[in-house]
Amino acid sequence: MQRDAPHPRRYESIARAIEEAMLAGRIGPGDRLPSERELMAQFGAGRGTVREALFALRK
């Protein structure tokens, strides 16, 4: 029996979306990221989840 791949955690999905925006040039070098509040609204996530995503991007 084949198992489905585990779903990524919410913060991982958000971090990946931000990273993809950077790679696509929608967020350029030196550009400020949207505020936590804007990211919360954009992704429908809580502040803690957004902060985890931002922390993951720093690694």
What's the pLDDT score for residue 6? 77
Averaged confidence pLDDT in the chain? 92
Distance (Å) of CA 55 to CA 4, 15, 25? 27, 9, 21
Predicted local distance difference test score (pLDDT) of residue 44: 97
What are the residue ranges spanned by the domains of the chain?
10-25+35-58
Give residue 15's pLDDT band: very low, low, confident or very high (50, 70, 90): very high
pTM for this predicted structure: 0.84
Beta-carbon contacts of residue 46 (< 8 Å; ≥ 6 apart): 40
* Residue of higher predicted confidence among 6 and 51: 51
pLDDT (tens digit per residue) in 21-38: 999 999 999 999 999 999
